[in-house]
């Protein structure tokens, strides 16, 4: 059972999201940010364009500001990895590249996303399949 231990930096957890089109043969790496308050995973228009995704419809969503809206929905294959070497239990880099496979997931388009350094917002719909621990400035994810 792979485990990823990452530092929590500036109250954020960033990791690598490996995304692909359903039925596609290739995964592409994007920087993701974990949002345990988000119910649904979201992707930017850049991801939609690069993966050649087509919307499968729209669904009502409620953003952080509390206003309901309709968001385009896409289906993707998603997995989680790390950009930098993960940390061991003592907080030291392990020198290993770690990847936790995911599955097909329905995601929403982040049309007005203002985080220019991340193209994927990992919500609880993705994270619910994993065991999550946040302790002493560390984010621990395993399946």
Residue range 79-121, pLDDT digits in tens: 876 554 555 666 665 655 555 666 788 999 998 777 778 999 9
Count of alpha carbons within 13 Å of 75, Cβ hemisphere only? 7
Question: What was the pLDDT predicted at 42?
Answer: 94
Q: In terms of DSSP H, where are the helices of the chain? A: 45-51, 124-127
Residue 138 burial (10 A CB sphere; 0-12, 13-18, 19+): middle
Instruction: Please state, rounded to an integer, the average pLDDT across all residues of the chain.
Output: 83
Domain boundaries, the chain: 3-142
pLDDT-derived band at 58 (thresholds 50, 70, 90) equals: very high
CATH code of the domain made up of 3-142: 2.40.70.10
Question: What was the pLDDT predicted at 78?
Answer: 87
């Amino acid at each position: 059972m792979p485990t990823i231990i990452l530092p929590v930096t500036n109250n954020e957890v960033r990791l690598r999201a490996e995304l692909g089109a359903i039925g596609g043969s290739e995964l592409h790496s994007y920087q993701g940010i974990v949002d345990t308050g988000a119910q649904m995973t979201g992707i930017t228009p850049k991801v939609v364009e690069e993966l050649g995704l087509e919307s499968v419809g729209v669904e009502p969503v409620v953003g952080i500001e509390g206003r309901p809206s309709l968001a385009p929905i896409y289906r993707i294959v998603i997995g989680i990895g790390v950009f930098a070497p993960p940390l061991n239990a003592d907080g030291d880099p392990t020198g290993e590249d770690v990847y936790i496979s995911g599955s097909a997931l329905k995601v929403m388009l982040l049309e007005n996303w203002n985080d220019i350094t991340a193209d994927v917002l990992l919500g609880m719909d993705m994270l619910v399949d994993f065991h999550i621990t946040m302790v002493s400035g560390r984010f621990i994810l395993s399946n």
